[in-house]
Amino acid sequence: MAREYLFDDWRSVFHALLGFASAFLLAWSLVVLVMFTLYEISESEKPAATLGDVVEFLVGYIYGLAVVVWLALGFYV
């Protein structure tokens, strides 16, 4: 039984960094998410690998949103 892992190669770190950076684009980050997902679907990978890449992007995106909220709240304190 083959198992796909998250963060299994150097490209995985790039996916997370792209997600982190796109969180700072706020409204445009949804466009980046859709473009990234369409790009991943167009690649000839296993569906599990594609899903793993999108999850890696979303992990970076969530961390990026946490930093954006932290920075926004820091300006009001």
Note the pLDDT of residue 14.
92
Note the pLDDT of residue 41.
87
Domain regions of the chain by residue span: 10-74
Query: Which CA distances in Å does 59 have to 1, 2, 65, 69, 71?
Result: 26, 23, 10, 16, 19
Q: What whole-number distance in Å separates Cα of residue 77 and Cα of residue 47?
A: 45
The one-digit pLDDT tens for each residue of the chain (77 residues) are 345 678 888 888 999 999 999 999 988 988 998 999 899 889 888 888 888 888 999 999 999 999 999 998 887 66
Note the pLDDT of residue 67.
94
Note the pLDDT of residue 4.
63
Note the pLDDT of residue 1.
32
